């Protein structure tokens, strides 16, 4: 497939996943705030930290109040990662590769774009509960995933989109873990308190994992939770699971063997995935959670640029690319 | 819907005769229209436009930040053409495209028509669309104009006239195809009753035609687009999708040893035929416009070497120049020794002294056009212009007669169009599409463009025109 098209499909996957995650984060945080004991200040700052866009936020906004944070994450055009921006980019990428999409997929992306594009503050804060707005966005994207699942052939295009989706998801799970751990880590006397429980619950819900975690691990406590979100082999939002899927996509694209590599993207992702496969919660505690998460994020960035170099970059000198790998 | 108030006095209406009775080929639709409540029609219209938006059937409006993308308003009342009328159109279009193809081949090679003085040499050789790099070239199978979108209008008497031969990259065919799909949903039963010929196999025919240009058994075909900011991007991607071929931009292509390759995730892959939707002079910065960022360096050399086929062939634009247009009847006679089946709008060439004098004397009755301008620029509509403007154009014509032609003002035919709760008459034109592959093939359908403003003759999409599904009957 054309490099330019592969690039657009990959980013289509990333932007949709990003928008879906943001919509979920806002929704969950909103719910959490409803549960907080009276007198406790609502915490919206962690959400901005989770996105990695703190600096950008502080250029325009002064407080971390609910409205500002939600506006920043949902409708702010100057924020390249806001839901509106992500959906606009996703739709632009979809337009570029439209001949590769099913009719339904394109139409649903288009509808979502038009919905967001005409959304204003009033749409969110108007008559209705703001959560219904974000729910609509989430469901639109999940519908797109469902449509794709049932209608799209598993060709290169499929694997590039999935690759983008899983890398983005791994990144978002790692970010939410990092920030929640740092910002909401209760002081020792609060461990096991109702507030602690609420925070961990919110964290699980922000990755749509509350029920699954309960079934698999039972008790809500930090180690089990970390184990679940970083190493779990079955849960589709654990970092390990996402990396494994992304790695498989790369092998499907290159038609190469699973335990081998023939480009740097496969090499880097294989190394990170294996490292996680042979680590456990004790290794994280030894290294420190923040440090471990930071390392994972940096590796994901490296994988991302290797994908870019290997598949997408337009080369002006033909017939040399296979040698450079 | 009550149609008794419909009025189109003094004009030729596609549906109603002068005495107010409906023309025979419209009967099944009239029946349907009469028993449909205006509210229901409005609803159908609303959902038609909504699905246009959902499909992304939009064109970009340049320099308009707010509504960057607009839909080409589709009016749900179809324009219907009876079979005998269509057969004549079809024969006329085939004849015209055939003759024009002979003409282009000739002027880039033997130039017999110029040597014989049928078409003035300077008119061709001074035309900015006469591409010198094409001299001596014969494209694959001798075909230059693979896709033609001819604009036609009907006058007061219902007679068809060719307004323009679009031989470069005529657009709008995707609207013809998608409009049909929308109208099928709006009026599911009447198409069958009326007996409407299908248009849906156009992409397959287009693909066949393109593949025919290569000697390879399974040639790789691509549609070359300037990109998503081009006003016709929807169409480019639509056609690529419908044909199942790659949609490429200039940056995806590279030329090596006179062969064109696409850059893919697995390296460079050859491409054999390109349906290019970018202008001649942007096609290759090394051969034509050096400032072009859209094209592909060296692609023209590859074309000359015969390793890539381009549709339409570069250089066809010289034959749809407004001054050359006036000679098309002569061109048909010259190459085919036949009388033209379809008429030209009578055209006065200001380069000819007697015709110039006529134009200068009757400028207040005529439409004056600059020969190489398009989109309504450099135009004077005599009956609507002031005495001052008449004088200004008289001077322009006298100073540079070659640059101007003039035509009588024609009144375009009208067609019933849904306006709010009412059906009113609006002016309409017709753009059928002709494919030149193994045979010359006229698609039984067209893009009908409607002026949505009352009394307006402007059907241009960028100036508020709309469109209609066009039914050609069996």
Residue the block writes with tokens 């008429």: B343
A307/B contact by beta carbon, under 8 A: no
Q: What is the pLDDT of residue A127?
A: 66
Give which of A67, A70, A85 is closest to A19, Cα–Cα.
A85
Strand B309-311 vs strand B273-276: parallel, antiparallel, or unpaired?
parallel
Distance in angstroms (rounded) separating the CA atoms of residues A45 and A26: 12
Interface contact B251-A314, CB threshold 8 A: yes
Contact A121/A58 with Cβ under 8 angstroms?
A: no
Interface contact A99-B254, CB threshold 8 A: no
Other CB atoms within a 10 A radius of the CB of residue A301 amount to 13
Q: In sequence order, which ranges of chain A are alpha helices (DSSP H)?
A: 3-35, 45-51, 54-60, 66-74, 83-96, 103-117, 121-125, 130-151, 156-184, 194-206, 210-217, 222-226, 239-254, 264-277, 281-287, 289-307
Distance in angstroms (rounded) separating the CA atoms of residues B278 and B229: 12
Interface contact A2-B56, CB threshold 8 A: no
Interface contact B246-A322, CB threshold 8 A: no
Using a CB-CB cut-off of 8 Å, the residues of chain A touching B264 are 1-3, 6
- Determine which helix (DSSP H) or strand (DSSP E) holds B48, and give its type and residue range: helix B38-55
Interface with A, mutate which of B56, B69, B221, B256 (most A CBs under 10 A)? B56
Residues B237-242: contacts with CB under 8 Å, at least 24 apart: B237/A95, B237/A98, B237/A99, B238/A98, B238/A99, B238/B174, B238/B177, B238/B178, B239/B173, B239/B174, B239/B203, B239/B206, B239/B275, B240/A99, B241/A98, B241/A99, B242/B177, B242/B203
Interface contact B237-A107, CB threshold 8 A: no
State the distance between the two ends of chain B, measured CA to CA, in whole angstroms. 27
Of A99, A156, A253, the CB nearest to B237: A99
Distance in angstroms (rounded) separating the CA atoms of residues A218 and A211: 9
Using a CB-CB cut-off of 8 Å, the residues of chain B touching A322 are 267
CA B264 to chain A, closest CA, distance in angstroms equals 4
Q: What b/e readout covers B164-195, taking b as 16+ CB neighbours within 10 angstroms?
A: bbbbbbbbbbbbbbbbbebbeebbeebbeebe
CATH architecture label of B346-408:
2-Layer Sandwich (3.30)
Interface contact B55-A107, CB threshold 8 A: yes
Interface contact B55-A110, CB threshold 8 A: yes
A156 has a pLDDT exceeding 90: yes
Residue A95 tokens read as 């337009």
A227/B contact by beta carbon, under 8 A: no
Question: Which distant-in-sequence residues (6+ apart) come within 8 Å of A171 by Cβ?
Answer: A297, A300
| Cα Dmax for chain A | 67
Of B237, B240, B263, the CB nearest to A315: B263
CA A152 to chain B, closest CA, distance in angstroms equals 14
A152/B contact by beta carbon, under 8 A: no
Distance in angstroms (rounded) separating the CA atoms of residues A115 and A128: 16
Of B54, B256, B264, the CB nearest to A3: B264
Using a CB-CB cut-off of 8 Å, the residues of chain B touching A318 are 254, 256, 261, 263, 268
Q: Which residues pair with A270 in a beta bridge?
A: none
Spans in chain B with pLDDT lower than 50 = 64, 66
Interface contact B248-A319, CB threshold 8 A: no
Q: Which residues pair with B218 in a beta bridge?
A: none
CA B229 to chain A, closest CA, distance in angstroms equals 10
Mean model confidence pLDDT for chain A: 87
Using a CB-CB cut-off of 8 Å, the residues of chain A touching B233 are 95
CA A178 to chain B, closest CA, distance in angstroms equals 35
CA B14 to chain A, closest CA, distance in angstroms equals 35
Q: In sequence order, which ranges of B109-247 are alpha helices (DSSP H)?
A: 112-115, 121-125, 173-186, 190-194, 202-211, 233-243
Interface contact B267-A156, CB threshold 8 A: no
Interface with B, mutate which of A10, A99, A108, A255 (most B CBs under 10 A)? A99
- Percentage of residues in chain B having pLDDT higher than 90: 73
List the single residue in B with minimal CA-CA distance to A113: B54
Residue B220 tokens read as 């790789």
Distance in angstroms (rounded) separating the CA atoms of residues A188 and B343: 93
CB pairs under 8 A between A and B: 69
Using a CB-CB cut-off of 8 Å, the residues of chain A touching B226 are none
Distance in angstroms (rounded) separating the CA atoms of residues B270 and A254: 20
Q: What is the pLDDT of residue A188?
A: 59
| Cα Dmax for chain B | 69
The region that residue B36 occupies, defined by phi over 0 for left and psi between -120 and 50 for alpha, beta otherwise, is beta
List the single residue in B with minimal CA-CA distance to A324: B267
Beta strands in B277-413, from DSSP E residues, in sequence order: 309-311, 343-344, 348-349, 366-370, 379-381, 404-408
The string of DSSP codes covering B264-317 is ETTEEEE--EEEE-S-GGGS-TTTS-TT-SSS-TTHHHHHHHTSSEEESPTTGG
CA B71 to chain A, closest CA, distance in angstroms equals 13
List the single residue in A with minimal CA-CA distance to B247: A99
A67/B contact by beta carbon, under 8 A: no
Of B56, B251, B268, the CB nearest to A318: B268
Residue A155 tokens read as 């060709």
A104/B contact by beta carbon, under 8 A: no
A316/B contact by beta carbon, under 8 A: yes
Give which of A160, A285, A307, A304 is closest to A230, Cα–Cα.
A285
- Model pLDDT for residues A164-192, shown as the tens digit of each residue: 999 999 999 998 887 666 655 555 566 66
Other CB atoms within a 10 A radius of the CB of residue A24 amount to 21
CA A92 to chain B, closest CA, distance in angstroms equals 8
- Determine which helix (DSSP H) or strand (DSSP E) holds B423, and give its type and residue range: strand B422-427
A4/B contact by beta carbon, under 8 A: yes
A285/B contact by beta carbon, under 8 A: no
Q: What is the DSSP letter of B452?
A: -
Of B228, B238, B248, the CB nearest to A2: B248
Q: What is the pLDDT of residue A321?
A: 43
Of A4, A96, A99, the CB nearest to B241: A99
Q: What is the pLDDT of residue B461?
A: 65
For residue A119, what pLDDT band results from cuts at 50, 70 and 90? confident
A324 has a pLDDT exceeding 70: no
- Model pLDDT for residues A184-217, shown as the tens digit of each residue: 555 556 666 777 777 788 888 878 888 899 888 8
Other CB atoms within a 10 A radius of the CB of residue B43 amount to 13
What's the distance, CA B218 to chain centroid?
30
Interface contact B265-A99, CB threshold 8 A: no
- Percentage of residues in chain B having pLDDT higher than 70: 96
Interface contact A318-B256, CB threshold 8 A: yes
Using a CB-CB cut-off of 8 Å, the residues of chain B touching A321 are 267-268
**Domain ranges, ordered by start, for chain B:** 24-219+308-343+410-472, 346-408
Residue B76 tokens read as 């749900």
Give which of A101, A111, A169 is closest to A139, Cα–Cα.
A111
Of A1, A95, A318, the CB nearest to B228: A95
> Between the CA of residue A18 and those of A89, A127, A232, B380, B384, what are the distances in Å?
11, 27, 22, 55, 57
ipTM above 0.95, yes or no: no
Interface contact B247-A6, CB threshold 8 A: no
């Amino acid at each position: 497939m054309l490099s330019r098209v592969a690039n657009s499909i990959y980013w289509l996957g990333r932007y949709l996943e990003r928008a879906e995650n943001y919509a979920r984060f806002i929704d969950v945080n909103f719910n959490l705030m409803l549960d907080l004991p009276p007198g406790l200040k609502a915490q919206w700052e962690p959400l901005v930290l989770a996105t990695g866009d703190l600096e950008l936020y502080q250029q325009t906004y002064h407080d971390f109040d609910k409205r500002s944070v939600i506006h920043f994450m949902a409708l702010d055009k100057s924020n390249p990662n806001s839901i509106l921006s992500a959906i606009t980019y996703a739709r632009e990428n979809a337009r570029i590769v439209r001949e590769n999409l099913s009719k339904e997929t394109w139409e649903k992306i288009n509808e979502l774009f038009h919905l967001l594009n005409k959304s204003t503050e009033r749409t969110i804060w108007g008559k209705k509960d703001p959560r219904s707005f974000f729910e609509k966005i989430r469901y639109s994207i999940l519908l797109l995933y469902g449509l794709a699942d049932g209608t799209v052939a598993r060709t290169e295009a499929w694997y590039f989109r999935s690759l983008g989706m899983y890398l983005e998801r791994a990144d978002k799970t790692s970010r939410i873990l990092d920030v929640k751990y740092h910002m909401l880590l209760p002081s020792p006397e609060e461990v096991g308190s109702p507030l602690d429980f609420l925070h961990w619950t919110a964290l699980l819900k922000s990755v749509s994992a509350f029920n699954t975690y309960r079934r698999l691990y039972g008790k809500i406590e930090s180690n089990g939770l970390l184990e679940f979100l970083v190493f779990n082999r079955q849960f589709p939002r654990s970092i390990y699971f996402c990396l494994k899927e992304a790695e498989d996509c790369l092998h499907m694209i290159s038609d190469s063997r699973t335990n081998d590599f023939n480009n740097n993207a496969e090499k880097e992702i294989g190394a990170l995935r294996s490292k996680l496969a042979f680590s456990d919660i004790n290794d994280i505690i030894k290294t420190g959670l923040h440090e471990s998460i930071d390392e994972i994020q940096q590796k994901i960035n490296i994988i991302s640029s290797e994908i870019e170099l290997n598949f997408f970059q337009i080369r002006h000198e033909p017939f040399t690319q296979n040698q450079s790998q | 819907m009550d149609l008794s108030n419909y009025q189109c006095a003094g004009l030729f209406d596609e549906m109603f005769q002068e005495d107010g009775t409906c023309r025979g080929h419209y009967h099944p639709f009239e029946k349907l229209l009469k028993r449909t409540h205006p509210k229901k029609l409005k609803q159908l219209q609303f959902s038609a436009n909504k699905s246009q938006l959902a499909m992304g059937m939009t064109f970009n409006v340049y320099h308009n930040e707010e509504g960057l993308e607009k839909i080409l308003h589709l009016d749900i009342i179809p324009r219907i053409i009876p079979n005998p009328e269509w057969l004549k159109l079809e024969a006329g279009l085939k004849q015209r495209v055939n003759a024009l193809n002979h003409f282009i081949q000739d002027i880039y090679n033997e130039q017999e028509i110029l040597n014989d003085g049928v078409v003035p040499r300077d008119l061709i050789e001074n035309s900015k669309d006469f591409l010198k790099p094409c001299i001596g070239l014969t494209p694959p199978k001798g075909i230059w104009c693979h896709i033609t979108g001819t604009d036609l209008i009907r006058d007061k008497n219902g007679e068809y006239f060719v307004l323009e031969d679009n031989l470069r990259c005529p657009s709008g065919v995707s609207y013809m195809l998608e409009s049909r799909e929308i109208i099928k949903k709006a009026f599911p039963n009447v198409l069958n009753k009326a007996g409407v010929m299908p248009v849906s196999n156009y992409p397959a025919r287009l693909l066949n035609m393109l593949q025919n240009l290569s000697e390879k058994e399974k040639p790789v075909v691509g549609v070359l687009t300037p990109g998503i900011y081009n006003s016709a991007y929807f169409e480019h991607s639509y056609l690529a999708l419908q044909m199942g071929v790659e949609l490429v931009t200039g940056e995806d292509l590279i030329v090596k040893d006179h062969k064109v390759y696409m850059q893919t995730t697995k390296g460079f892959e050859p491409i054999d035929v390109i349906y290019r939707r970018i202008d001649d002079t942007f096609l290759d910065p090394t051969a034509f416009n050096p400032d072009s960022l859209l094209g592909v360096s060296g692609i023209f050399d590859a074309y000359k070497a015969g390793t890539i086929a381009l549709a339409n062939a570069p250089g066809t634009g010289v034959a749809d120049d407004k001054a050359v247009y006036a000679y098309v009847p002569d061109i048909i006679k010259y190459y085919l020794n036949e009388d033209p089946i379809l008429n030209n709008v009578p055209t006065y060439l200001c380069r000819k002294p007697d015709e110039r004098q006529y134009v200068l004397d009757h400028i207040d009755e005529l439409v004056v056009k600059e020969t190489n301008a398009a989109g309504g620029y450099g135009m004077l509509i005599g009956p609507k212009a002031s005495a001052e403007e008449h004088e200004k154009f008289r001077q322009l014509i006298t100073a540079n007669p070659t640059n101007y032609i003039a035509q009588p003002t024609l009144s375009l035919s009208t067609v019933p169009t849904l306006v709010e709760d009412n059906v009113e008459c609006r002016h309409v034109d017709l753009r059928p599409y002709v494919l030149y592959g193994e045979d010359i093939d006229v698609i039984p359908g067209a893009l009908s463009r409607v002026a949505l403003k009352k009394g307006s003759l402007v059907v241009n999409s960028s100036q508020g025109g709309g469109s209609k599904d066009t039914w050609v009957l069996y």
